[in-house]
Amino acid sequence: MKKIVIFASGSGSNAEKIMQYFEGHPTSAVAAVLSNKSSAGVLAIAQQFQIPTLVFSREDLNNDTVLNFLQTNKPDLIVLAGFLWMFPKSIINEFPGKIVNIHPALLPAYGGKGMYGLNVHRAVVADGAKQTGITIHYVDEHYDEGATIFQDAITLLGDETPEEVAAKVLKLEHAHFARVIDEILNN
- Which residues form the catalytic set? 103
Burial 11-45 (b: 16+ CB within 10 A, else e): ebbbbbbbbebbeebeebbbbbbbbbeeebbbbeb
- Residue 156 and residue 108: Cα distance in Å, rounded? 18
CA angle 116, 126, 110 (to 5 degrees): 35
